[in-house]
Amino acid sequence: MEKIVFSPNEGVDIQELERLCLKVGWPKRAPSKVETALKNSFMVASLCLIKEISQPDGSSVEVKRELIGMARATSDHVFNATIWDVLVDPLYQGQGLGKALVEQMIRALLRRNIGNITLFADSQVVDFYKNLGFEPDPEGIKGMFWYPRF
Amino acid sequence: MEKIVFSPNEGVDIQELERLCLKVGWPKRAPSKVETALKNSFMVASLCLIKEISQPDGSSVEVKRELIGMARATSDHVFNATIWDVLVDPLYQGQGLGKALVEQMIRALLRRNIGNITLFADSQVVDFYKNLGFEPDPEGIKGMFWYPRF
């Protein structure tokens, strides 16, 4: 039996996350830094595939758990949150799991009374987030990034 | 004697901040919430006016300290930071203090090796942040805000 489980804030295994990032094609980041970033994120949501494999003789059930998606948010714990690093294993993309992951995260943030939920979206995922209720540049507000001047 | 002192992360008195927000015309927010937000910000920078008033007989010096500016940043402590709530007392605006405040904050974040410094700028301050080295929508990245659907 297989099921997909969403956990809003249960912690993610760093090595598993590293494997997931590799699959998605993200640049490698130092595990110690990733660990610090997760520890200092307000919320780290995960999607896991749970496989229950029964022994042929019915004597026992082996449970395998695989991380297939993740998203995290920084926050001041009261007013605002910013969602970063939304990723889903390419093998499981196209099934609405990324959408479910972000939707669940929004709900979890609203339960914590965070009113201002924000993110920075790459151009190719702007429509994805629009469908989830995010508005680009509302009232002319601009997302801006600082770049070192050479 | 008067001087203006920038502190990158020294803590801000909530009542003083409340008075400053009032002067700037910000909507009132519950002090307990503001306190939690400051506690959970990675960095809370302040600008203070320090007045040293000598007694006429030279016997002592009275030091008065007034909060005239503030900015804060949420962060995962490693990869990214987002600057929020940049404010300067209207009496002291137009002297480059807001610029100095944000510049000092950028330097303090860089000293902590935060590479990705971001913010959401209201339309009327986009040019102010451009002058500080912030780029709007770099490579098509869009700042997005979630809005409840009715």
Cα–Cα distances in angstroms (integers) from residue A65 to residues A89, A93, B67, in the given order: 14, 18, 52
Average pLDDT over residues A80-95: 96
* H-type alpha helices, B26-149: 31-39, 97-111, 126-131
Question: Model pTM?
Answer: 0.92
Return the SS3 of A74: strand
Average pLDDT, chain B: 93
Rounded to the nearest angstrom, the minimum Cα separation between B71 and chain A is 13
Average pLDDT over residues A69-89: 97
CA A51/CA B127 separation, integer angstroms: 53
pLDDT of residue A102: 96
* Residue of chain A with shortest Cα separation from B75: A74
CA atoms within 13 A on the CB side of A54: 6
- Answer whether B143 sits within 8 Å of A149, measured CB to CB: no
pLDDT of residue B8: 83
- Answer whether B147 sits within 8 Å of A140, measured CB to CB: no
Closest CA relative to residue A82, chosen from A37, A119, A42, A110: A119
Res. B149 pLDDT band, cuts 50 70 90: low
Res. B59 pLDDT band, cuts 50 70 90: confident
Which residues of A are known catalytic residues?
A: 129
pLDDT of residue A5: 92
Res. B72 pLDDT band, cuts 50 70 90: very high
pLDDT at A84 over 60: yes
pLDDT at B148 over 90: no
CA A31/CA A36 separation, integer angstroms: 9
Res. A58 pLDDT band, cuts 50 70 90: confident
Picking from B77, B134, B147, the nearest residue to A144 by CB comes out as B134
Residue A150 or residue B122, greater confidence? B122
- Answer whether A76 sits within 8 Å of B121, measured CB to CB: no
- Answer whether B122 sits within 8 Å of A129, measured CB to CB: no
pLDDT of residue B118: 98
pLDDT at A7 over 60: yes
- Asked if A108 and A45 touch (Cβ cutoff 8 Å), the reply is yes
Neighboring chain A residues of B135 at a CB cutoff of 8 Å: 144-147
Neighboring chain B residues of A137 at a CB cutoff of 8 Å: 142-143
Return the SS3 of A145: strand
| Torsional sign, CA A99, A37, B42, B129 | negative
pLDDT at A150 over 80: no
pLDDT of residue A129: 97
Q: How many CB atoms lie within 10 A of CB B114?
A: 22
Picking from B75, B78, B135, the nearest residue to A147 by CB comes out as B135
Average pLDDT over residues A54-81: 92
Picking from B39, B117, B143, the nearest residue to A146 by CB comes out as B117
Res. A17 pLDDT band, cuts 50 70 90: very high
Percentage of the residues of chain A whose pLDDT score is greater than 90? 83
- Answer whether A126 sits within 8 Å of B133, measured CB to CB: no
Which residue among the candidates B46, B69, B88, B129 is catalytic per the annotation?
Answer: B129
pLDDT at B150 over 70: no
- Answer whether A117 sits within 8 Å of B145, measured CB to CB: yes
pLDDT at A24 over 80: yes
pLDDT of residue B127: 97
pLDDT of residue A113: 94
CA B10/CA B44 separation, integer angstroms: 7
Res. B103 pLDDT band, cuts 50 70 90: very high
Res. B105 pLDDT band, cuts 50 70 90: very high
Average pLDDT over residues A66-73: 96
**For the CA atoms of A116, A122, A128, A134, what is the dihedral angle to 10 degrees?**
20
Render pLDDT for B14-43 as a digit per residue (tens, 0 to 9): 999 999 999 999 989 999 999 999 999 999
